[in-house]
Chains A and B, each alone.
Chain A
Amino acid sequence: MKPKLHIGVLALQGAFVAHAQALRDCGAEVQLVRTHEDLNGIQGLVIPGGESTTMSNLLVASGLSEVLKDIFRHGFPVFGTCAGMIVLAERILDGRTDQISLGALKIDVRRNGYGRQNDSFEQDIIVPSFDTPFHALFIRAPVIEAIGPDVEVLASWGDRPVLVRSAHALACSFHPELVSDLRIHEMFLSIVENFSVTNPR
């Protein structure tokens, strides 16, 4: 049997419980991350949906923002969903002026680009690498408005990318942690596995 992957879930605010459950359902060991000590021993980090401005405040207050920027610069695997994708984006549109970005993905993201809660929606999306569509929940979701040259689009809806990857950073506008379909979490775990093989602890 393969050893279990150890994955951190940033638990400052947001849907961290649902992500932890999805990762456990995939067979991973989960560590909730609130301080930099909590990063010890993890092989990848998930940044959940929630309120990106709240997370930004708490990332600064906890001192995690600098530590995370540094490890992402060295290619540490990370997966951001919704607000988590905003936190990872190089450029945030319609954000607060003091809002921080961890800069792990060269994308421009517009906060609440799909509208307020009344515009939130469910939608089957086509992920070309999957056999069947993925049922996606978009909650006050951010829009990816531009992507850098090294960013690969793994799925789109309408004319917008909704699932993107660059090196060991994965991000999506929607919420795979709110459905029972584990394929996108498994996709992240295989990124972590590949990284761990080439960068043993």
Chain B
Amino acid sequence: MATSSTNSVTGSFPVKRGLAEMLKGGVIMDVVTPEQAKLAEDAGACAVMALERVPADIRRDGGVARMSDPEMIQGIQAAVTIPVMAKARIGHFVEAQILQALGVDFIDESEVLTPADEAHHIDKFKFTTPFVCGATNLGEALRRISEGAAMIRSKGEAGTGNVVEAVRHLRSILGDIKKIGTADSAELFEWAKRLQAPLSLVQEIAETGQLPVPLFCAGGLATPADAAFAMQLGASSVFVGSGIFKSDNPALRAKAIVEATTHFMDADVLARVSTGIGAPMTGIGMDEINQRYAERGW
């Protein structure tokens, strides 16, 4: 029997998008130490995001937020067996090159870090490692996909513990997808123009009724109910950042959010897992913050 071994391809778009597909129905947790990463894996996280400070602390500390120290990322890679993601600044392709060299499983070109380029995002097709990017609306999502993103997440407003912005972004993206689904072929040109997005991607949405890559929810989720809310609205998975390790009992909360994400339609399970998990992070209102991370990105 001939086993052809000549045509193996790594880093292709289907291979990148494939990992995003594997992370569906799961919870990706922000962690800043190997101990936190272990706790996340114990709780059933499907991946962790390795970073130096959770968004709530970045918000509090101010200053320039950059890619994490490679040593810290390696420590987390050594501590867990699940996929490890890490963040690069918007447009900072050298930070992304370093993260790829470190062997992270997904790179988040993230508005939570201070942008490095005010006009350009990273050309993500040049990388073997898949990318996830944030979006506040469908046009932004499609521009990121046209640059090679294999996963889109709603931006929400990271570090606030307030789900309202994530919900706005999810509803905006999914609402426009629904409208495009009912548009006629002539209207698709107008949609592409209005969204400032490639016509081919708009046409693909009209045909399939969905985004060309998985859509996850991020930015302000703090409770099991928030996670199930995002899933019922149509997200395929959730990112939880500050919401776990800024709460009273991270281990219990992390496990509860994992169960809530799986059983998002089952109110009895949601009631059970929401009980006795201690206080969530305090959170802040949108009128109390002076820097909206979601406005970063072009």
Which among A100-108, A115-123, A144-152 touches the partner chain?
A115-123
Residues A94 and B22 in contact in the complex (CB < 8 Å), given A122-B14, A122-B15, A123-B9: no
Would you call A16 and B23 a contact (CB within 8 A)?
no
Q: Does B138 contact A (CB under 8 A)?
A: no
Would you call B258 and A58 a contact (CB within 8 A)?
yes
Would you call B22 and A118 a contact (CB within 8 A)?
no
Min CB distance, B12 to chain A, in Å? 6
Q: Chain B residues near A17: list those with CB within 8 A.
A: 24, 236
Would you call B8 and A51 a contact (CB within 8 A)?
no
Q: Does B3 contact A (CB under 8 A)?
A: yes
What is the interface size of chain B, counting residues whose CB is below 8 A from a CB of the partner? 45
Min CB distance, A68 to chain B, in Å? 16
Would you call A54 and B18 a contact (CB within 8 A)?
no
Would you call A54 and B15 a contact (CB within 8 A)?
no
Q: Chain A residues near B41: list those with CB within 8 A.
A: 53, 96
Which among A7-15, A23-31, A39-47, A193-201 touches the partner chain?
A7-15
Q: Chain A residues near B19: list those with CB within 8 A.
A: 117, 120, 139-140
Would you call A82 and B9 a contact (CB within 8 A)?
no
**Distance in angstroms between the alpha carbons of A119 and B12 in the assembled complex:** 11
Which among B99-107, B244-252, B279-287 touches the partner chain?
B99-107
| Contact flags A136-162 to B (C-beta < 8 A → 1, else 0) | 010110000000000000001110000
Residues A54 and B105 in contact in the complex (CB < 8 Å), given A117-B19, A122-B12: no
Q: Chain B residues near A175: list those with CB within 8 A.
A: 18, 21
Would you call B25 and A16 a contact (CB within 8 A)?
yes
Smallest CB gap from A17: residue in B: B24
Q: Chain B residues near A156: list those with CB within 8 A.
A: 1, 3
**Residue in B3, B4, B82 with the greatest tally of chain A CB atoms within 10 Å:** B3
**Distance in angstroms between the alpha carbons of A156 and B3 in the assembled complex:** 7
Q: Residue B25 contacts which of A13, A35, A140, A179 (CB distance < 8 angstroms)?
A: A13
CB within 8 Å of B: which A43-97 residues: 49-51, 53-54, 57-58, 61-62, 82-83, 94-96
Q: Chain B residues near A167: list those with CB within 8 A.
A: none
**Distance in angstroms between the alpha carbons of A108 and B266 in the assembled complex:** 36
| Contact flags B174-214 to A (C-beta < 8 A → 1, else 0) | 00000000000000000000000000000000000000000
Residues A117 and B44 in contact in the complex (CB < 8 Å), given A58-B262, A112-B81, A123-B8: no
Would you call B128 and A118 a contact (CB within 8 A)?
yes
Q: Does B278 contact A (CB under 8 A)?
A: no
**Residue in A35, A62, A120, A178 with the greatest tally of chain B CB atoms within 10 Å:** A120
**Distance in angstroms between the alpha carbons of A57 and B263 in the assembled complex:** 13
Residues A116 and B103 in contact in the complex (CB < 8 Å), given A15-B22, A58-B259: yes
Q: Does B37 contact A (CB under 8 A)?
A: no
Would you call A126 and B3 a contact (CB within 8 A)?
yes
Min CB distance, B160 to chain A, in Å? 27
Q: Chain B residues near A137: list those with CB within 8 A.
A: 14-15, 18
CB within 8 Å of A: which B124-156 residues: 128-130
Other than A14-B24, A137-B14, give 16 A-B pairs with Cβ distance below 8 A: A11-B262, A12-B25, A13-B24, A14-B46, A17-B24, A34-B263, A35-B266, A53-B41, A54-B44, A54-B82, A58-B262, A62-B262, A96-B41, A116-B83, A116-B105, A119-B10
Q: 4 shortest A-B CB distances, which residue pairs?
A: A57-B44, A117-B105, A51-B46, A139-B18
- Interface of B toward A, CB cutoff 8 Å: 1-5, 7-12, 14-15, 18-19, 21-26, 41, 43-47, 81-83, 100, 103, 105-106, 128-130, 236, 255, 258-259, 261-263, 266
**Contacts A/B (CB < 8 Å), 24 sampled:** A12-B262, A13-B25, A13-B26, A14-B25, A16-B24, A50-B24, A50-B46, A54-B46, A58-B258, A58-B262, A83-B22, A96-B41, A117-B105, A118-B10, A118-B11, A120-B15, A120-B19, A122-B9, A123-B4, A123-B8, A126-B1, A126-B2, A140-B83, A179-B14
- Interface of A toward B, CB cutoff 8 Å: 11-18, 34-35, 49-51, 53-54, 57-58, 61-62, 82-83, 94-96, 111-112, 116-126, 128, 133, 137, 139-140, 156-158, 175, 178-179
